[in-house]
Chains A and B, each alone.
Chain A
């Protein structure tokens, strides 16, 4: 579903003044010369030539088994059997590929993903670990859900990108020039990058090694744990 259409609090039955579309907004004709501007904090449209089109982040199944997102500022194809994704920027035409190859130092066999709400989730990839590919208007983001303290905390990824991938950014969380150094509770070991036919390829192993804290939600009485005591993100009962 289109990002705009998902929103229950904005006009859905008013005639849109299409020439007034912008990246973050739509404008509607209220009649008698009145109009309404609906402005978002983030993008709701992507540029297709001279036209602004609605962003739709719902992955669609292809005949070849792949999942595809193409109503966005980027095109993305995901192989649900490997997590390997192919990303192509509409701005630059440059491409990148990435995906997971091991968890806890072992190769993984992936279950069928759950596709919903602009995200692709592989549940219980190994005991206590889910993987999630979250699609946003500005890109795709991997999340690692670690459900209990005894679950594996290390993930190995393969990354490949075109050498001239300067218009876009591939951001390695906590890595960059600091690869190999412990930072923000994550240790990263990055292999030496190899350049082949205009592509750069490397592997990264990330290990989450923050102190684990057990927490209790006073309102719901749910118990959980967190790897960051000040800002607990994960609360699984």
Chain B
């Protein structure tokens, strides 16, 4: 039947991909509405997660105090071990089967361990070094897109293994967000408002 879609943006920026194939799934719909970084029982394969944050209003070279990806941990099971990487490009393209799979991206030098928190809570993942490395690229421009990979390295055994997170389109769900904290500019003076728009 007809699905009515507005062309204003995509909810396909958080995806799962398979370790051994070129498949790509948006919305986590194939796994009950979850992003899976680990091993999914029925698919009998390991999965990685790609997150792409569109149109970041951060200037090139901007120093940051902290950058965290916050994910809602529905479940963490077994022995899953995973690592965060950034897509080491100036402007991360949209995910695509075969041509731009999360597992195939050019990875940043900086990385961070994926943290397992308490099930049923939002877990903060420190990706400060990754974000800073991308912002320091000469070609980074405010408004560009930034993408991340959560790559599973260990998920042995049977059954579900690893991290199950909420997807953006999960009804009533808690999608991944990227929070970036900026230091005071120029010795504590107020940061200028550089974006256009109405002052309300």
Q: Interface of A with B (CB < 8 Å)? A: 6-10, 17-25, 27, 30, 32-43, 46, 50-52, 73-74, 87, 89, 91, 96, 98, 100, 116-119, 134, 136-142, 155, 157, 159, 167-173, 204, 206, 215, 217-219, 229-233, 235
Contacts and interface: CB of A to CB of B under 8 A. Distances in A.
A43 B171 contact: no
B4 A24 contact: no
Interface in B1-30: 1-11, 13-14, 25, 29-30
Given A41-B11, A169-B7, 18 more contacts: A7-B177, A9-B70, A9-B72, A9-B122, A10-B70, A23-B54, A25-B57, A33-B191, A37-B58, A39-B53, A39-B179, A40-B175, A42-B10, A43-B9, A116-B172, A117-B171, A117-B172, A219-B41
Interface stretch (B81-89, B103-111, B180-188): B180-188
Given A23-B55, A36-B182, A41 B2 contact: no
The 7 closest A-B pairs by CB, nearest first: A9-B122, A117-B172, A33-B184, A231-B30, A139-B5, A41-B13, A157-B1
B4 A42 contact: no
B2 A37 contact: no
Interface in B36-53: 41-43, 51-53
Contacts of A73: 6, 8
Contact of B177 (A17, A39, A140, A170): A39
Contacts of B182: 34-37
B3 A140 contact: yes
Interface of B: 1-11, 13-14, 25, 29-32, 41-43, 51-58, 65, 70, 72, 77, 122, 124, 158-160, 168-169, 171-172, 174-186, 188-191, 193, 195-200
Contact of A37 (B6, B13, B57): B57
Contact of A167 (B7, B159, B160): B7
Contact of B176 (A32, A37, A41): A41
A219 B159 CA distance: 7
A10 B177 contact: yes
B107 to A, nearest CB: 19
A93 B148 CA distance: 36
A37 B179 contact: yes
Contacts of A206: 1
Given A167-B7, A171-B3, A40 B168 contact: yes
Q: Which of B56, B58, B124 has the most CB of A within 10 A?
A: B56
A27 B197 CA distance: 13
A42 B168 contact: yes
A137 B65 CA distance: 31
A24 B9 contact: yes
A39 B198 contact: no
Contacts of A6: 172, 174
A119 B171 contact: yes
B12 to A, nearest CB: 9
Nearest to A228: B30
B160 A22 contact: no
Contacts of B3: 139-142, 170-171, 173
Given A40-B175, A134-B171, A232-B42, A139 B4 contact: yes
Contacts of B42: 215, 229-232
